[in-house]
Structure 1
Amino acid sequence: MASVAVKARVTGRVQGVAFRTWARAEAMRHGLTGWVRNEPDGSVRALLMGPSASVADMVRRMGRGPGAASVKDVLTEKTDPDPEIRGFSIVG
Structure 2
Amino acid sequence: MIRKRAIVTGDVQGVGFRWSAREAAHRLGVTGWARNRADGSVEAEVEGEPEQVDRMLDWLRTGPPGATVAGIHVSDTQPQGDDAFRIRETA
TM-score bracket for the superposition, by shorter chain length: over 0.9
Offset, 1:17: 0.3
- Which amino acid in structure 2 is aligned with residue 87 of structure 1? A
> CA separation in 1, counterparts of 2:38 and 2:83?
25
> CA separation in 1, counterparts of 2:48 and 2:24?
13
Provide the residue aligned with 1:87 in structure 2: 84
Q: Deviations over 1:67-87 (max 9, x none)?
A: 10000001100111012x221
Provide the residue aligned with 2:3 in structure 1: 5
- Which amino acid in structure 2 is aligned with residue 89 of structure 1? R
* Runs of at least 5 residues in structure 1 that lack an aligned partner in the other structure: none
| The one of 7, 15, 18 aligned to 1:17 | 15
Q: Deviations over 1:25-65 (max 9, x none)?
A: 00011110100000000000001000101101111111111
| The one of 55, 58, 63 aligned to 2:56 | 58
Question: Percent identity between the aligned chains?
Answer: 40
* Runs of at least 5 residues in structure 2 that lack an aligned partner in the other structure: none
Task: Output aligned runs, 1:63-74, within 5 Å.
Answer: 63-74=61-72
| TM-score normalised to structure 2 length | 0.95
| TM-score normalised to structure 1 length | 0.94
- Which amino acid in structure 2 is aligned with residue 35 of structure 1? W
Provide the residue aligned with 1:27 in structure 2: 25
Q: How many matched pairs?
A: 89
- Which amino acid in structure 1 is aligned with residue 32 of structure 2? G
